[in-house]
Amino acid sequence: MALSTSDAFSTRGRGRRRRRGRRGALSEINVTPLVDVMLVLLIVFMISAPLLTVGVPVELPKTEAGAVNDERQPLTLTIRRDGQVFIQQSPIALGDLDVRLKALAGDGLDRPIYVRADGGAPYSYVAEVMARLSTSGFTKIDLITDTGAPNEKPAASAPAGA
């Protein structure tokens, strides 16, 4: 009895199954869409992060000092050109300044206070606010300025007829 080639590969009675042309399931995750989404989110956060530091608009004086690093969230005190004082973004009367700051600082009088004074604000306003802060017991008071070269004064003109 001779076997034909079709009988040799038949599965009748032998328990063998023929493999189909299908592949097995992929066990790898395609990370390309994940990377695309993460890059878009990174760009969005890089653009929106500077916009999150919203405050009272003032023109800060320019200095050559570097930035200060601190771990705790500081309290921000802003003095506008007209002498109006703000804690964070809320306006406050100068007489209520120490009580309100102590309430915000809690028991930590060593919490940093950033004073942002407009460059055109009179020196007497800034000095009075700083004096009230120091007599209230706050020890870490920092003046905030823009980085860069200091504002240059215009050159004095020569007297007429000289």
What's the pTM? Answer: 0.49
Q: Which CATH fold topology does 62-147 show? A: Nucleotidyltransferase; domain 5 (3.30.420)
> Which structure tokens are listed for 135?
């007599």
Residue range 15-30: mean pLDDT, rounded: 66
Per residue in 69-118, pLDDT (tens digit) is 656 677 888 888 888 888 888 888 888 887 888 887 776 667 788 888 88
In 3D, which of 136, 124, 137 has the Cα closest to residue 85? 124
Type of residue numbered 77: L
* Residue 51 pLDDT grade (very low, low, confident, very high; cuts 50, 70, 90): confident
Residue spans per domain, the chain: 62-147
